[in-house]
Amino acid sequence: MKLKTKGVACCIDNSIVARVTFDPLQKSESTVLLVSDRLDASVIANFDAIITTWPLDEQFDYPSVYEVPDFDHLEEGDIVAIHSDGIINTLYRVRSQHNFLLFTERCNSNCLMCSQPPRDKEDSHLAQLYKRVIPLIPKDCTDLGITGGEPTLLGNLFFELLILISSELPLANIHCLTNGRSFAWPDFTYKLNDAIGGNLVLGIPLYADSYLVHDYVVQAKGAFDQTLLGLYQLARFNRRIEIRIVLHKLTIPRLKKLARFIYRNLPFVEHVAFMGLEYQGYTPHNIDKLWIDPKDYAEELSDAMLFLADMGMQISLYNSQLCLTPKELWPFYKRSISDWKNIYLPICDSCSMQDECGGFFASSLKFHSNNITPFI
């Protein structure tokens, strides 16, 4: 599924953020009209802009994007950003449960398997963009993700966006991916309480019970200590925490010990997610360091997950395939891959369990386990 398209822009100097509609009779603020026929000059004034598949019509001196190949990926009420270069980004999809806001591409870690490699550039314009997006999101939104980069690097802007989300979307469950390091500073954690309530869950990675392994995986000296301090500061304020463990050759050898470390030292966490590797971003460049077939770590994974389950902790397995998952772990198996990058391989067409299986990341077409076996 695509989240971006492009056409020829006309009369767009600054980015336009608005909902889309196919109804030329709709009259409301922050709305753009999608049309596949010639433009009707009598209706264009009702909209912030027009998006059309038709060629450029110089008779209309109005914010528009012409010659868009198609907009089949857009639905009534979706939120888009239209830019002066003709690019149209989809920022929110009304029919999806996998909407997220990319707060920043900057990060103070550089994980070997990062699927969204950080970019060291000033990008606070993204936060300003989301200040316009958030009020347009439907008030009945139930789930919204925050990701990066490292969102907390925005500093006060991070809290401003959380306050806005809390005000505009009081019913939404918010899941924020963060390395947790900024919360090592008590003042930063304290500000979180003023920004948003208990509908926020912080997903924080912990890759080993050893600082040597964790710091090597995230390529940041001192990250293990900062992350643990952040976790304890968050616990002081009763914040909701999820521990995330990406499964690969560097994390598997200490997985059993990590499970016991979490139980003994972090019993306050709400959830522990074990996550399959995504062949994207840095992963292809480090594949020799990272790749281990899920069939080959089944024993270690079962031991770690079942230990935590037996101790009463909530656990899940994400980003995996059912045929590679030990049956004793099926109760904890989740279909977790975002719909816009979720696929199944041709070999899966004959599988009787496809509806229960979470499938693959789209990047898995290039690299995946050789042990995929359809259920008959």
Does the residue 370 lie in any domain?
A: no
Residue-level pLDDT at 59: 66
Residue-level pLDDT at 39: 67
Does the residue 321 lie in any domain?
A: yes
148 contacts 116 by C-beta, under 8 angstroms: yes
Q: Domain end: 38, 65, 91, which one? A: 91
Residue-level pLDDT at 62: 85
Domain that holds residue 10: 4-91
Same domain for 245 and 141: yes
CATH number (domain holding residue 40): 3.50.30.10
Same domain for 149 and 40: no
Q: Domain end: 41, 70, 91, which one? A: 91
Same domain for 27 and 168: no
Count: domains in the chain: 2
Residue-level pLDDT at 94: 96
Q: Domain end: 91, 108, 137, which one? A: 91
Residues in the chain, pLDDT under 50: none
> How many residues are present in the chain?
376
- pLDDT tens-place string over residues 336-357: 999 889 999 999 999 999 999 9
- pLDDT tens-place string over residues 84-127: 999 999 999 999 999 999 999 999 999 999 999 999 999 999 99
Same domain for 263 and 147: yes
CA angle 71, 45, 136 (to 5 degrees): 60
DSSP states of 75-111 as a string? -TT-EEEE-TTSEEEEEE-TT-S--EEE--S--S---
